[in-house]
Amino acid sequence: METKQDCLFCKIAHGEIPSKKVYEDEYVYAFDDINPLMPVHTLIVPKVHYDNIGDEVPNDLMGHIFNTVPKIAHLKGIEESGYRVMVNTGDDACQSVHHLHVHVLGGGKMTEDSPAVTHNA
């Protein structure tokens, strides 16, 4: 399986660095963010390394990653109350870990201003 050396999320996805696992299957690993912005803040990462959403991610894998989102929402009990899905990409969006990841945020009321939800603010 393709991993990138010294990539934090490659190591987390393959159990080399501990994390609070929420869900796992053959293609993705989901775990709680270490610095949660909301009561629910889970990250979904592919087990194969891609730098970001623009890194020629195969369609079936991209679909699988996003189809995992409602599963996480169900496991976290926020499917009815709602949730926000965020994919920071590049410098302007403050992407800090360069392994593709999808943030699933919920468990409380968020502002309508989506870009306001950043962990570096």
Place of tokens 């870009």: 115
Residues 49-68 that bind Zn ion (CB under 5 A): 49
CA–CA separation, 111 and 39 (whole Å): 15
d(CA 108, CA 94): 23
> Does residue number 94 form part of the binding site for ligand 5GP (CB under 6 A)?
yes
When binding is defined by CB under 6 A, the residue of 29, 31, 50, 83 that contacts ligand 5GP is 31
The residue range among 26-34, 47-55, 59-67, 76-84 that interacts with ligand 5GP, by the rule CB under 6 A, is 26-34
Q: Is 103 an annotated catalytic residue?
A: no
Backbone angles phi, psi at 67, to 5 degrees: -70, -15
Least separation in angstroms between residue 101's CB and ligand 5GP is: 6
